[in-house]
Structure 1
């Protein structure tokens, strides 16, 4: 399970190293990155991505909403290789979408991790805390 909140540092242009606690939970050396439903980036193990998207991809091609969801899921996702130290490059389009820069927050969200611009994350975190309280 992917848990915790981290403030990792970018290593060069859009390059990031996953924190050790998260790396230990990820099987293999590949992750799928996709734009999140909020202004963030989702990261999934390959098998988890397949499981999460299976329900949506099973919708009939004749279902217009299903086609749009399929497009959003697949056109904005990319298989990323991790090096032996868990480093990877975030695609430029995802950086642009999320506003992620050197000041970023990485959170574990159970079955995936999320990469946020820290200011955007703080606003969103306060919003969800207020909803829960």
Structure 2
């Protein structure tokens, strides 16, 4: 499994294409799924990882209205893509609008996937959550582990 970590600052071109970090292109060569994510960002999954999520998701309880709503939103907002020769992914107008993307973007690694943010939105998010991150310390990590 590829590990996606780090922060990168590519620019969105006039045709809606965004260059993904070169160090991840080999892992993404089999195709990617771009979908809406929380906090008005986009998620980029390797096709295999997206399929694994889908397999788990479809086995989730169909009796849970919140689960159904999440799955509908998640899958309806997905777009299968292949990186072009320059490592660019084409972001649909719907995705660009959803995430409020301007020319200045940020791509962050979230271990099993990448997230695409508008640069200002990412700065705002960091400002909003920095204190919680700093004060959580090891207790948040202990809860995860």
Compute the TM-score of the two structures, normalised by the length of structure 1: 0.90
What SS does the corresponding residue of 2:11 show, helix, strand or coil? coil
Partner of 2:11 in structure 1? 9
Partner of 2:33 in structure 1? 32
Number of residue pairs matched? Answer: 132
Structure number having the greater helix percentage: 2
Deviation track 1:8-44 (CA, whole Å, cap 9, x = no partner) reads 122332111111012133242x110001111111000
What SS does the corresponding residue of 2:116 show, helix, strand or coil? strand
Partner of 2:107 in structure 1? 106
Partner of 2:96 in structure 1? 95
Residue ranges of structure 2 left out of the alignment (5+ in a row): 135-145
2:24 to 22, 25, 38: 22
Root-mean-square deviation (CA), in Å? 1.5
Structure of higher CA gyration radius = 2
Deviation track 1:78-119 (CA, whole Å, cap 9, x = no partner) reads 111211221121011010011011011111110000110111
Structure number having the greater strand percentage: 1
Partner of 2:54 in structure 1? 53
CA distance in 2, matches of 1:55, 1:129: 32
CA distance in 1, matches of 2:128, 2:55: 30
